[in-house]
């Protein structure tokens, strides 16, 4: 039987958003006048650790978040496995939509049944208006619906997720970035038929610095902790400072790299590393809801064009290109012809 696993990044209702939703300076005040949320600008980054403990055995990974879109009434962030869009109103951030990476694995490789393995993408929409920042109050809740595609890309199911705040308290918290006085928010979460408890720690001026999700039925605890804010200059995603994506190993039988993000009216630049040297790969863009075009370059200056794909509307883009002698590719995704921006999945085939 094929089994779907959510990507290890942030495919929960909170996940990605808890460490990034609290952007936007000004207007993020509670009744005491505390400004909880930092200002966010396009190209800013955040680093954090993620520890998944299953049956008492921890596995820790590091991730980097990038603010890819910021305008007067919207902000978008990504960690490569999940990208989230938030509406900004009076300084508060309310989640609008997400694009998640779904990982499929063969749950029983010994049963003699050959099953498809790989990754697909799951769009998520929110029906709630509750902001992630400033901290929500007891009784407030979040509601989202995700479409989980079937493992072969056919069929699938809609899965509802709710999170309801059950307790709020003030206490201290320690994370890699330091020790802080925090607002602790506890929530009951129900994703499909799976229940869990999510605890988030808000710090004035930083937003959420720690999140713990306890899934009793799976004997699993997932902890995310803030490490540092990146005040990089020039901004991440520019030609001068592209987003670096390391292939490392195949995601599935068909691809070495998968990276989801959202783009506005500008461009995002990527440097892909860890690929086979002097090897031809198919690079694709998919999962768009508006126009985004694909350009591949042979050099770090993004000047020597190798190929491009500029289809109209939300049609997929595809291009063949050969890696450099260092096993790298330089990619630009252009959203200048979109109406209001679009999510996309960048993928590099074997």
92-114 pLDDT, tens per residue? Answer: 888 999 999 987 765 556 665 54
Amino acid 134: pLDDT: 84
Helix (H), strand (E), coil (C) string for 170-208: EEEEEECCEEEEEEEEEEEEEECCEEEEEEEEEECCCEE
Phi, psi at 239, each rounded to 5°: -60, -35
Three-class SS state of 27: coil
Q: Is it the case that residue 256 has pLDDT exceeding 60? A: yes
CA distance between the termini of the chain: 26
Q: What's the pLDDT band for 90 if we cut at 50, 70, 90?
A: confident
Half-sphere exposure of 66 (CA within 13 A, CB side): 24
Confidence at residue 14, expressed as pLDDT on a 0 to 100 scale: 42
Per the listing, tokens 């988030």 go with 200
Average pLDDT, the chain: 85
Fold assignment, 2-230: YmcC-like fold (2.40.360)
Task: Give pLDDT, residue 249.
Answer: 53
Can you tell me whether residue 103 is helix, strand or coil? strand
Q: Per-residue pLDDT tens for 2-48? A: 344 443 333 343 445 445 444 333 344 454 567 776 677 889 888 99
Distance CA 294, CA 83 (A): 19
116 closest CA partner among 249, 250, 2: 2
Cβ distance 198 to 191 under 8 Å? no
Tell the CATH topology of 243-349. Answer: Jelly Rolls (2.60.120)
Per-residue pLDDT at 251: 56
Alpha carbon 170 to chain centroid, angstroms: 28
Q: Distance between CA 185 and CA 208 in Å, rounded?
A: 10
With beta carbons less than 8 A apart as the criterion, state whether 310 and 282 touch: no
Domain ranges, ordered by start, for the chain? 2-230, 243-349
């Amino acid at each position: 039987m094929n089994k779907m696993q959510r990507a290890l990044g942030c495919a929960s209702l909170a996940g990605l958003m808890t460490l990034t939703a609290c952007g936007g300076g000004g207007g993020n005040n509670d009744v005491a006048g505390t400004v909880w949320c930092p200002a966010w600008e396009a190209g800013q980054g955040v680093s954090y650790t993620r520890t998944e403990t299953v049956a008492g055995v921890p596995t820790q990974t590091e991730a980097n978040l990038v603010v890819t879109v910021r305008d007067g009434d919207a902000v978008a962030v990504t960690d490569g496995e999940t990208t989230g869009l938030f509406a900004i109103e009076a300084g508060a951030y309310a989640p609008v939509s997400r694009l998640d990476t779904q990982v499929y694995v063969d749950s029983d490789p010994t049963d003699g049944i050959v099953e498809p393995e790989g990754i697909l993408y799951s769009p998520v929409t929110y029906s709630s208006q509750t902001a992630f920042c400033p901290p929500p109050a007891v009784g407030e809740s979040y509601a989202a619906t995700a479409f989980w595609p079937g493992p072969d890309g056919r069929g699938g199911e809609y899965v509802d997720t709710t999170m309801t705040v059950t307790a709020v308290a003030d206490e201290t918290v320690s994370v890699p970035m330091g020790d802080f006085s925090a607002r602790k928010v506890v929530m009951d979460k129900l994703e499909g038929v799976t229940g869990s408890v999510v605890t988030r720690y808000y710090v004035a001026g930083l937003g959420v610095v720690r999140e713990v999700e306890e899934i009793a039925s799976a004997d699993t605890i997932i902890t995310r902790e803030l490490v540092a804010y990146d005040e990089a200059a020039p901004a991440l995603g520019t030609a001068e400072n592209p987003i670096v994506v390391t292939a490392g190993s195949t995601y599935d039988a068909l691809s070495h790299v998968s990276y989801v993000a959202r783009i506005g009216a500008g461009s995002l630049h990527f440097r892909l590393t860890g690929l086979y040297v002097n090897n031809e790969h198919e690079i694709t863009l998919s999962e768009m809801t508006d126009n985004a075009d694909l350009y591949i370059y042979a050099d770090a200056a993004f000047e020597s064009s190798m190929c491009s794909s500029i289809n109209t509307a939300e049609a997929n883009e595809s291009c063949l290109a050969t890696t450099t002698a260092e096993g790298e590719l330089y990619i630009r995704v252009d959203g200048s012809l979109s109406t209001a921006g679009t999510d996309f999945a960048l993928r590099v085939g074997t």
